[in-house]
């Protein structure tokens, strides 16, 4: 993707950040600590809201690595991953060798998003059952919602979204 800044390498894969991520981060850093969190949990300090928003922002981009891991397991070299406004784009070298490999690679993002939604939901439930309240529960609840929304969006059957790649693999 153009207009990207390199972050470095993780497990041999180059990571870049597209300028559009700044929009995503700006929205979360403004909306969460100055909008959502004070509405849901009034009376906390601005610093507490900002820390919670920063944690939610970092964790919301967590599913991007799944594509690289599954692509590598299916014999496809991952050149880079670029984080952008709605997640990440993996630059793969080569094509899947079979429809099954293509389906596994394409489904990795949505399945990881769903798994993260379940994990964050279990975390929120566990905190509530343990008697915890406040920002940790609100962060987990927010992460459940954002992961479900991104999974639904990502499953739209259009390229370059995962839904388009799933459709291609099924039609293959």
Determine whether 12 is exposed, middle or buried from the number of CB atoms within 10 Å of its CB (0-12, 13-18, 19+).
Answer: exposed
Q: What pTM was computed for the model?
A: 0.73
Residue closest to 135 by CA, chosen among 70, 30, 43: 43
> Which structural domain range is residue 9 located in?
4-171
- DSSP 8-state symbol, 145: H
Six token digits for residue 27: 């929205």
- Buried b / exposed e over 18-55, threshold 16 CB at 10 Å, is bebbeebbeebbeebbeebbeeebeebeeeebeebbbb
The pLDDT value recorded for residue 122 is: 96
Number of domains in the chain: 1
pLDDT of residue 62: 60
What digits encode the pLDDT tens for the residues 63-75?
A: 566 656 666 666 6
pLDDT over threshold 90, residue 20: no
* Residues 6+ positions from 160 with CB-CB distance below 8 Å: 89
pLDDT > 70 fraction of the chain, expressed in percent and rounded = 86
pLDDT in tens, 30-74: 888 999 899 988 999 999 999 988 888 777 766 566 656 666 666
């Amino acid at each position: 993707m153009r207009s990207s800044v390199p972050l470095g390498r993780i497990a041999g894969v180059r990571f870049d950040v597209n300028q559009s991520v700044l929009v995503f981060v700006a929205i979360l850093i403004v909306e969460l600590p100055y909008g959502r969190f004070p509405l849901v949990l009034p009376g906390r300090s601005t610093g507490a809201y900002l820390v919670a928003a920063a944690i939610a922002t970092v964790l919301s981009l967590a599913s991007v690595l799944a594509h690289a891991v599954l692509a590598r397991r299916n014999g496809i070299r991952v050149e880079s991953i670029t984080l952008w406004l709605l997640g990440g784009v993996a630059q793969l070298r080569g094509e899947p060798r079979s429809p099954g490999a293509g389906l596994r690679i394409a489904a990795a993002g949505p399945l990881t998003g769903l798994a993260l939604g379940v994990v964050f939901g279990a975390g929120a439930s566990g905190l509530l059952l343990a008697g915890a309240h406040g920002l940790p529960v609100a962060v987990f609840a927010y992460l459940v919602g954002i992961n479900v929304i991104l999974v639904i969006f990502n499953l739209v059957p259009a390229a370059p979204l995962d839904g388009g790649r799933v459709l291609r693999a099924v039609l293959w």
